[in-house]
Amino acid sequence: MRALPPAASLSLETERHRRRRRVPWGAYLALVPTLGLLGFFAYYPDINGLVHSLTNWEPGFSSPFVGLANYRAMWHDGLWWESFVHVGVIFVVAVTAMWAIPLAAAELLMTLSRPRWRLFFRSALIAPLAFSPVIQVLTWQFIYDPNVGVLNDFLGKVGLTALQKNWLGDPHTALWALIFINFPWVAGLPFLIFSAGLQNIPVEIFDAAAIDGAGRWKRLLVIDLPLLLRQLKLLFFLAVVFVLQYGFAAYIATQGGPDNATTVPVLRIVGVAFDAGEWGYAAALSATLLIIMMLMTGLALFIGRRGPRGAR
């Protein structure tokens, strides 16, 4: 153990390092618990899932090899691809409105000159984050309730009775009702990232812009957005990953219905495995989702590395 030199103290250590080149068993030993845990409960199941996506998986019994049959079945699975359309709709909103409002909030926050007020509004805006996401969904489900819900109640009071709906029960509105959960979407990662990014832009740049007579909109387009570019790229890929994992809200509030209007990939996988018992097929769907997500994250890392080094 004592033979292990601290990593960065090179000047002192290189010579000693050369002198006794013992295998640092201590370091490996210390990593064994972590690697064992992750090997057995993360790597093993994931690889096992990939392998069994090529079989007719029957947990506890022999699982006959079927080649790519599960993937061929996926190709013809209309509901599976429809679920990606829903996710696509959610994605479009996630990278437009769900960014625009938090960005506006972050910009407005920057116009406040008193730190105390900034802190106050910042806290008030992110406070909903402190609630469990499931409670957020259940609360919104209650808002959408056709009989006692706040939304219909409000519409009735302002005389717009015609607009009252069974928001989560109508195939035309169900997906949008799910998307609008947590409106105005300020309490979330985009807001935190935008406001941190704006805060890190040096004040001198803003002052220079003001002296040059740049208005608010011009400043937003010419200074803020370019300096936030790296964060935007990152958020874009986080949005992809978020959207592909989207599921529990639909599971709780609509169960993928009505009429499959809110089915998303995760719900389809759960349905195939736990309701239909087709584990091999579910493994193939999972594997597809996993590969898409890893590709996206890999791409994000790649682009993030290459991206210009802007404001930290």
End-to-end CA distance of the chain: 38
Q: Is 108 a residue that touches other proteins (CB under 8 A)?
A: yes
In this structure, what is the dihedral angle of CA atoms 202, 203, 208, 209, given to the nearest 10 degrees? 90
Q: Who contacts 280 (Cβ-Cβ below 8 Å, separation ≥6)?
A: 52, 53, 54, 55, 56, 57, 58, 63, 66, 70
Give the CB-side neighbour count of residue 217, counting CA atoms within 13 A.
Answer: 0
**The one among 143, 168, 239, 243 contacting other proteins by CB under 8 A:** 143
Q: Which of 129, 136, 169 has its CA nearest to residue 248? A: 136
The piece of 30-38, 76-84, 168-176, 220-228 that touches other proteins (CB under 8 A) is: 30-38
The piece of 37-45, 77-85, 201-209, 254-262 that touches other proteins (CB under 8 A) is: 37-45
Q: Is 24 a residue that touches other proteins (CB under 8 A)?
A: yes
The footprint of other proteins on this chain (CB under 8 A) covers a number of residues equal to 103
C-alpha 118/C-alpha 99 separation (Å) is 20
**The one among 129, 201, 229, 232 contacting other proteins by CB under 8 A:** 129
Q: Is 1 a residue that touches other proteins (CB under 8 A)?
A: yes
Closest separation in Å from C-beta 290 to other proteins: 4
CB nearer to other proteins: give 16 or 172.
Answer: 16
**The one among 61, 116, 130, 213 contacting other proteins by CB under 8 A:** 130
Query: What residues from 165 to 194 belong to the interface with other proteins (CB under 8 A)?
Result: 182-184, 186-187, 189, 192-193
Q: Is 62 a residue that touches other proteins (CB under 8 A)?
A: no
Give me the 236-275 binding string for other proteins, x by CB under 8 A, dash otherwise: --x--x--xx-xx--xx-------------x--xx--xx-
CA-CA distances (angstroms) from residue 311 to 8, 99, 221, 224, 231? 27, 20, 16, 10, 10
Q: Is 91 a residue that touches other proteins (CB under 8 A)?
A: no
DSSP assignment letter at 169: T
